């Protein structure tokens, strides 16, 4: 007997899946967009800005894996609501932090930083675990039905959140009362995304829950917990090559955005608002190009095209960071190269997991990949900020990012030589 038709249709669900991370990405990038103002208005050091950007990833060094396993266990509906709540609470703490400044001299002290660190930790824990849930939702609804395009469109919506953060946060601060107003704006955007999640859960109830009844053999056979966990995490060599590429590529990209506004102001004397708009160009390019690349991947030889896109994306990082670090040419070209690279890599990377891993393990697979990525993203932003403070120049940081790009090229070449098995 043929299964009952899907209600609601996939295209009805896509906007509500896509909006889940809009607020989280807006709030996550607000620190980078407001970097110079956080330094001047709250008295934070550049290393503090790197810390705030890095602490977003710290809890995910471990917890995002459990977030994916929890989503596989209880279903993406309940898990996604929990993670959306963490985003809202975390963004609220970040927005409250400027009010802790000393009324006597207006200085921030350490209380502001500590409150922001706690808020950013909760924000990162919620947003990255919600990203794992979102990936599992897409794989569940679109596996075999334009999966790459669906991933690209959801990534595009998240990047629009980043784009608006870079484009508007500095202006909001300038027009509506400083950094505090901009951080509260990020909080309300997170609330709107949370409401979108509630609508998704209501609509998704028309289908069976996203925790399928089937389980791997490891979960049904007796044995030690360690042995069962090890079996559950066996995803194959190609999966781990993709994870290594993810770690290197994202470490070469996101930590740069944490200090990009300050870097542009220091080297090219750009204002915070102008630097934010230039940074938003990268995201604007992903908004335009990612759906095109996603649609391309759904046609023809998917694996071959994906591997080629990963290689091209990694190669583009090298001239971008060398131009920024070694020349005084206008930074526009380098930012265009970065935007093209970040349009190619995510569109080619994330859908491959949906094809490699069975549905009942897909949230765990995404969680493990994000965990490995988060280990690097917790350290590299702090390291790049510390390099700037130690050398009084961002040149060393640009070489760090270029080196990570070179490792990404090597991993992409290894991926092209492998035959992809399904686990």
Confidence (pLDDT) at 336 = 95
Does any domain span residue 212? Answer: no
User: Would you give per-residue pLDDT tens digits along the chain (423 residues)?
Assistant: 444 445 567 777 888 898 999 999 999 888 878 877 888 787 777 778 878 877 887 777 778 888 888 888 888 888 899 999 999 999 999 989 888 775 444 445 678 888 889 999 999 889 888 988 898 888 888 877 778 888 888 888 887 887 788 778 888 888 887 888 899 999 999 999 999 999 998 888 876 544 444 444 334 444 454 565 565 567 888 999 999 999 999 999 988 987 888 899 889 998 877 887 788 788 788 888 988 888 888 776 677 889 999 999 999 999 999 999 999 999 999 999 999 999 999 889 988 888 888 777 888 888 888 888 878 877 888 788 888 888 888 999 999 999 999 999 999 999 988 654 444
Confidence (pLDDT) at 102 = 57
Confidence (pLDDT) at 155 = 82
Q: Which has the closest alpha carbon to 381: 33, 39, 49, 38? A: 49
Confidence (pLDDT) at 189 = 94
Does any domain span residue 217? Answer: no
Does any domain span residue 215? Answer: no
Confidence (pLDDT) at 249 = 96
Give the C-alpha separation, 341 to 282, whole Å. Answer: 9
Confidence (pLDDT) at 372 = 86
Distance, C-alpha 237 to centroid of its chain:
24
Confidence (pLDDT) at 216 = 41
The helix or strand, by DSSP H or E, that contains position 92, with its residue range, turns out to be helix 76-96
Q: How many CB atoms lie within 10 A of CB 231?
A: 14
**Range of the structural domain that residue 406 is part of:** 12-206+227-416
Q: Name the burial class of residue 214, with classes exposed (0-12), middle (13-18) and buried (19+) by CB atoms within 10 angstroms of its CB.
A: exposed
Number of domains observed in the structure of the chain: 1
* pTM (2 d.p.): 0.75
Confidence (pLDDT) at 208 = 55
Q: Are 235 and 353 in contact (CB under 8 A)?
A: no
Confidence (pLDDT) at 220 = 42
Does any domain span residue 173? Answer: yes
Residues 6+ apart with CB under 8 A from 9: none
Confidence (pLDDT) at 333 = 95
Give the C-alpha separation, 211 to 189, whole Å. Answer: 29
Q: How many CB atoms lie within 10 A of CB 379?
A: 16
Does any domain span residue 219? Answer: no
Confidence (pLDDT) at 207 = 66
Residues 6+ apart with CB under 8 A from 25: 127, 158, 159, 161, 162, 165
Does any domain span residue 334? Answer: yes
Residues 6+ apart with CB under 8 A from 221: 228
Confidence (pLDDT) at 338 = 96
Does any domain span residue 422? Answer: no
Confidence (pLDDT) at 418 = 67
Name the packing angle between helices 272-297 and 332-356 (round to 10°): 40
Give the C-alpha separation, 83 to 366, whole Å. Answer: 15
Give the CATH number, domain containing residue 312. 1.20.1250.20
Does any domain span residue 38? Answer: yes
Give the C-alpha separation, 336 to 420, whole Å. Answer: 32
């Amino acid at each position: 007997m043929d299964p009952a038709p899907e209600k609601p249709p996939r295209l009805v669900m896509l906007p509500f899946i896509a909006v889940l991370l809009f607020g989280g990405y807006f709030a996550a990038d607000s620190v980078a967009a407001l970097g110079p103002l956080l330094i001047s208005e709250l008295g934070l050091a550049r290393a503090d800005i790197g810390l705030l950007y890095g602490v977003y990833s710290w809890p995910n060094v471990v917890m995002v894996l459990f977030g994916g396993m929890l989503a596989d266990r209880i279903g993406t509906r309940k898990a996604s609501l929990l993670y959306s709540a963490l985003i809202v609470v975390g963004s609220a703490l970040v927005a409250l932090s400027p009010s802790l400044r000393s009324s006597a001299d207006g200085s921030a002290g350490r209380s502001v930083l500590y409150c922001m660190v706690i808020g950013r930790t909760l924000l990162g824990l919620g947003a990255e675990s919600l990203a794992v849930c979102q990936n599992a939702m897409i794989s569940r609804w679109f596996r075999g039905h334009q999966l790459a395009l669906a991933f690209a469109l959801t990534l595009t919506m998240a990047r629009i959140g980043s784009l608006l953060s870079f484009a508007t946060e500095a202006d909001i601060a300038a027009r509506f009362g400083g950094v505090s107003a901009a951080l509260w704006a990020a909080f309300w955007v997170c609330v709107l995304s949370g409401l979108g999640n509630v609508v998704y859960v209501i609509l998704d109830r028309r289908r069976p829950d996203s925790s399928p009844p089937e389980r791997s053999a490891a979960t049904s056979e007796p044995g030690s917990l360690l042995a069962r966990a090890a079996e559950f995490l066996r995803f194959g060599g190609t999966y781990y090559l993709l994870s290594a590429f993810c770690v290197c590529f994202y470490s070469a990209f996101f930590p740069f955005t944490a200090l990009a506004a300050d870097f542009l102001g220091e080297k090219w004397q750009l204002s915070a608002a102008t630097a934010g708009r230039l940074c938003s160009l990268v995201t604007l390019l992903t908004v335009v190009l990612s759906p095109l690349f996603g649609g391309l991947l759904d046609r023809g030889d998917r694996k071959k095209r994906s591997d080629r896109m990963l290689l091209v994306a990694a190669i583009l990082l090298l001239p971008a960071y060398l131009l920024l670090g070694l020349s005084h040419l206008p930074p526009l070209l380098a930012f265009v190269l970065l935007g093209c690279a970040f349009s190619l890599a995510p569109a080619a990377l994330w859908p491959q997991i949906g094809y490699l891993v069975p549905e009942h393990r897909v949230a765990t697979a995404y969680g493990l990949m994000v965990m490995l990525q988060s280990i690097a993203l917790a350290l590299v932003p702090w390291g790049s900020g510390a390099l700037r403070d130690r050398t009084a120049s961002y040149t060393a940081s640009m070489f760090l990012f270029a080196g990570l790009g070179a490792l990404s090229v090597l991993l992409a070449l290894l991926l092209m030589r492998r035959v992809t098995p399904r686990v």
